[in-house]
Structure 1
Amino acid sequence: MFPETISTDRLRFERLCHETVDAIEYHQVCSRHEPGIDEVTRYLPWDTHETVAETAEYLDSLEAQWADRTRAEYLIRPKSGEAGSEEEGAGDIAGSGGLIVDWETRTGKPAIWLRKRFWGRGYSAERALAMLALAFDRLDLDLVAIPVQDGNDRSRRAVEKYVERFGGQYDGRIRNSTVRPDGTVIDHHRYTITAEQYRANVDDPLVTFEE
């Protein structure tokens, strides 16, 4: 159903699970040990991981969702040479990105987070291309819906660029959309791209799926 790896021009996406990453290693980038983590998680649906056990349980949940075909989550790694050298991040974990699937409505909801040191490189847009190709070319879904938390202007600008590129639209503001881990009720701005809009605007996606 879901490909184990996805490759784009500059990035490699590897299934996020116990087999591909050690819980201790992944905990390091999701915990207080990671520089800038408070800025990273400010608009994410999860808080920093307090223990390695919490990270391991998170990986367990991703494996369960993969098995029941409701979520495909991937480690994002810059390809060798893309960042110029190993010290600049080639091969490192840059973050993760995935697609949450609602089969009843044939809708995919992409998600992403990037470590702060990898901001500003255009990886979010490249991840968006990979998830759109996964949703429409691989899974044959009808719609991709992108929620952006109100106030997250940086992400809204990035989303608006690729939504416009693929002929999508802004659906509006959904009030009291969800609750953050700290109990805060938040609004989301919803953007959507249909399969028809994607296919009418995609040229060569340069996305490769590997089993």
Structure 2
Amino acid sequence: MSLFPTEMESERLRYERLHPDDIDPFELYEHARAGAPHIDEITEYVTWEPYDHPREALEWIETCGENFDGNDAATYVMRPTEGDRAGELAGLAGIHPDWDRRLAVLGVWFRKPFWGRGYSAERAARMLELAFDRLDLEVVTVSHDPENENSRRAIERYVDRFGGRKEGRLRNDIAVDGEPRDTIRYSITCEEWRANWE
């Protein structure tokens, strides 16, 4: 049994686990491959590179499936439930618990046609509910590259909404292409979320 739901919904999005039993690797490959529309903008501030062949997409799906089955993390394909792009793969959302610290780290990326629609905040609200109501965690964190203004604006909006705060700049927090990079980290506690949940 998994601690994570295999499917979830929010107001305008459906979440399906990224798992070999459920997701076609060619669908992910089509949108995350080298040469896919806007892929350079999508991957500018993330820690992964566009896929060079379908096997890389399959390997990522298998890794996510193992994490899901082992109750280590959950990654979801997000699909809009309404509008002209209903049912399309809009992006991926992840939740990565550190059970010993009672903390979860959120991650996300969206295809460019889905930027600026408020999906990031909607997804964050759903993931916070999962972290606090179902997984009984105490803190959720999220980070962005210091240069990523789009992520900064989106994150600050929902962190403010749920009473969280900016923790600050973590120097050399991650490595991208073998080079250390800083991140800006934010956190929301369960108590802050409950006080501000509508």
Give the Cα–Cα distance (whole angstroms) in 2 for the partners of residues 25 and 56 of structure 1: 10
Structure 1 residue corresponding to 2:143, chosen from 140, 143, 147: 147
| Cα RMSD after superposing both structures | 0.9
**RCO greater where, 1 or 2, for CA within 8 Å and sep 6 or more?**
1
Residue type at the aligned position of 2:39: I
Structure 1 residue corresponding to 2:100, chosen from 100, 104, 108: 104
Give the Cα–Cα distance (whole angstroms) in 1 for the partners of residues 72 and 146 of structure 2: 25
Equivalent residues in 2 for 1:7-86 (5 A)?
7-79=9-81, 82-83=82-83
Structure 2 residue corresponding to 1:132, chosen from 116, 128, 131: 128
User: Does the 8 Å contact 1:145/1:192 carry over to 2?
Assistant: yes
Give the Cα–Cα distance (whole angstroms) in 2 for the partners of residues 168 and 63 of structure 1: 31
Give the Cα–Cα distance (whole angstroms) in 1 for the partners of residues 10 and 85 of structure 2: 16
Give the Cα–Cα distance (whole angstroms) in 1 for the partners of residues 92 and 126 of structure 2: 12
**Pairwise CA distance, 1:59:** 0.8
Q: Structure 2: which 5+ residue stretches go unaligned?
A: none
Residue type at the aligned position of 1:102: D
The corresponding residue for 1:184 is: 179
Moved over 6 A (4+): none
Aligned length: 196
**Pairwise CA distance, 1:147:** 1.1
SS in 2 for 1:132: helix
The corresponding residue for 2:189 is: 194
Give the Cα–Cα distance (whole angstroms) in 1 for the partners of residues 61 and 9 of structure 2: 22
SS in 1 for 2:76: strand
| TM-score, normalised via structure 1 length | 0.90
SS in 2 for 1:104: helix
Are 1:122 and 2:118 matched, yes or no? yes
| CA deviation profile, 1:128-184 (whole Å, cap 9, x unmatched) | 01110110011010000111111111101110011011110111100000101x222
Give the Cα–Cα distance (whole angstroms) in 2 for the partners of residues 89 and 129 of structure 1: 22
Give the Cα–Cα distance (whole angstroms) in 1 for the partners of residues 47 and 129 of structure 2: 24
**Pairwise CA distance, 1:64:** 1.1
Give the Cα–Cα distance (whole angstroms) in 2 for the partners of residues 25 and 8 of structure 1: 22
Give the Cα–Cα distance (whole angstroms) in 2 for the partners of residues 78 and 19 of structure 1: 21
- Aligned identity (percent) is 43
**Pairwise CA distance, 1:19:** 2.1
Structure 1 residue corresponding to 2:157, chosen from 158, 161, 165: 161
More moved, 14-23 vs 124-133: 14-23
Give the Cα–Cα distance (whole angstroms) in 2 for the partners of residues 161 and 191 of structure 1: 11
Give the Cα–Cα distance (whole angstroms) in 1 for the partners of residues 66 and 23 of structure 2: 16
